[in-house]
Amino acid sequence: MLRFELPHAAQRILDLLEASGFEAYVVGGCVRDALFGRSPNDWDITTSAKPHEIQTVMQAEGLACIDTGIAHGTVTVLIDHEPFEVTTYRSDGDYTDGRHPDTVVFLDRVDGDLARRDFTMNAMAYNPRSGLLDPFGGQADLHAGVLRAVGDARTRFEEDALRIVRGMRFAARFGLEIEAQTSRAIHELRHLLDRVSVERIWVELSGLLCGAHAVSVLREYADVVFQIIPQLEPEFEFDQHNNFHKFDVWEHTLHALEAAPAGMDATVRFALLLHDIGKPHCLTFDEKGRGHAYGHEKVGEPIAKDVCRKFKLSRAERETVAYLVRWHMFSIPDTKKSMRRFLLKHGPERAQQLFAIRRCDKAGLGWEQPPDSPLNIAFAKAEILMDEQLNAQPVFGVRDLAVGGCDLMELGVPQGPQVGQVLNELLQAVVDGDVENDRDALIASAKKLL
């Protein structure tokens, strides 16, 4: 019999429920991950006990319970501050609002609970005493690398269309082939995503973008991506009419994403997905008939903002995405001075994000570039300059100067906007390397300015 170890706390919850005469299993993602040889994020538990029975059993042992999801049968049990979701066997009613099941019905048998789950690999339960419950062949699918809906794919996506994007996310994370009928249903029913809440879609979409196999999924299911983000559709097969670019805009974007380093976060990846969203609106031709998209970053910024607003991203996330789209066409600094100015303009964090985006953008050109190509040399040089400047702890704003407003007022600068003006002039002089960021030097320089 297949066996794997559960964390002590999860095993304790199963033991307590069983000792009170209930059935209990770990279920869903954790079973899948354990069989995959990955360590699960969290261990969910499914049980025949009803919510109040779960609470009674746990509280008798002095364990704290949080009953936030109780209408859906979920009690969160805290063991050493770690939360475990314990959910009564249940089936879901319709998702008429695309958000929550209208009703949930508690069940007595685990099979029904497994049948409500989305994909075969997520529909397995396990208990060290009784072993693996796998009524839909999830383990075989897992080993074959196949993602398959539980039951009839169309019916399951009609119940809850979010499963379409969840399926893409799992395929992107684990590098799975989506089984033919499931795949067909994803394409055919993508319009149902219009009624799913944007917050739920964003959770899955951002997970998808971070998957190691995201690009092949985005390519194969581009129609789904365009259903969720129609503003990207004009990129599809949009010819750039310029030999500098090997690919159309959409293919270029996918190649750029392919180059994203593993540690790049979801927000920056999203900016990369949207970075050329303005391009199809900006094509012009020069006298030789070559295409250009001058200003596409400016045109793209408000479009990217709209997309972020649609997904209700936080203000900070929206600003990051819009900023990176707006400034991704920067000219690569090639001197100490221009690098200092670049860092001053964007700040160290944004400057590094912009470089990360730009490196991917370059990879997305699609041409094999030897290490000594002018572009690669420019990047290598700029990266050294950036590291030098960041390590030298240069000045990024007037607050980093060795003098402040009070010093200037003592020199006779009248309180008011003039103080700021002089400080900015001093800042510029420091950034340009004309003055040291040293109190005496700055005061001398301020005196000259005055």
Residues that bind ligand ATP (CB under 6 A): 28-29, 41, 44, 117-118, 122-123, 160, 162-163, 166
User: Could you tell me if 92 and 51 are in contact, meaning their C-beta atoms sit under 8 angstroms apart?
Assistant: no
Using CB distances below 5 to 8 A depending on partner kind, what does residue 163 bind out of Mg ion, ligand ATP, none?
A: ligand ATP
Q: What is the size of the binding site for Mg ion (CB under 5 A)?
A: 1
Can you tell me which residue has the tokens 């992107």? Answer: 172
CB of 28 to ligand ATP, least distance (A): 3
Q: How far is CA 293 from the centre of its chain?
A: 28
Residue 44: CB minimum distance to ligand ATP, A:
6
Q: Does 207 bind Mg ion (CB under 5 A)?
A: no
165 interacts with, out of Mg ion, ligand ATP, none, CB within 5 to 8 A per kind: none
Site for Mg ion in 24-83 (CB under 5 A): 29
In the complex, least distance from residue 113 CB atom to ligand ATP, rounded to whole angstroms: 9
Q: Which is nearer to ligand ATP, 77 or 274 (CB)?
A: 77
Binding part of the chain for Mg ion, among 23-31, 164-172, 400-408, 420-428 by CB under 5 A, reads 23-31
Within residues 361-380, the interface with Mg ion by CB under 5 A covers none
Beta carbons of 379 and 359 less than 8 angstroms apart: yes
Give me the least distance between CB of 166 and Mg ion, in Å please: 11
Min. distance of Cβ 165 from ligand ATP in angstroms?
A: 10
Residue with the CB atom nearest ligand ATP in the bound state: 29
Name the residue nearer to ligand ATP (CB basis): 44 or 235. Answer: 44
Amino acid identity at 447: K
Minimum Å gap between C-beta 124 and ligand ATP is 9
Task: Note whether 130 and 140 are within 8 A (CB).
Answer: no
346 binds, among Mg ion, ligand ATP, none (CB under 5 to 8 A by kind): none
When CB distances to Mg ion are compared, the closest residue is 29
Instruction: Decide which of ligand ATP, Mg ion, none touches 51; Cβ closer than 5 to 8 Å per partner kind.
Output: none
The set of residues, in sequence order, having a beta carbon less than 8 Å from that of 242 and lying 6+ positions away, is: 290, 291, 292
Query: Residue 88 or residue 353: which is nearer to ligand ATP going by CB?
Result: 88
Token code pair at residue 382: 């700029």
The rounded distance, in Å, linking the Cα atoms of 288 and 273 is 30
**What does the alpha-carbon distance between residue 183 and residue 146 come to, in Å, rounded to a whole number?**
11
Residue among 166 and 346 whose Cβ is closer to ligand ATP: 166
State which amino acid sits at residue 122. N
Angle of CA points 262, 266, 268, to nearest 5°: 90
Name 24's bridge partners.
47
Mode of pairing for the β-strands spanning 74-79 and 82-88: antiparallel
**Element containing residue 319 per DSSP (H, E):** helix 315-327
- What kind and span of H or E run contains 131? strand 131-133
Least distance in angstroms from the C-beta of 219 to ligand ATP: 22
Which amino acid is located at 194 in the chain?
D
Q: Which residues bind Mg ion (CB under 5 A)?
A: 29
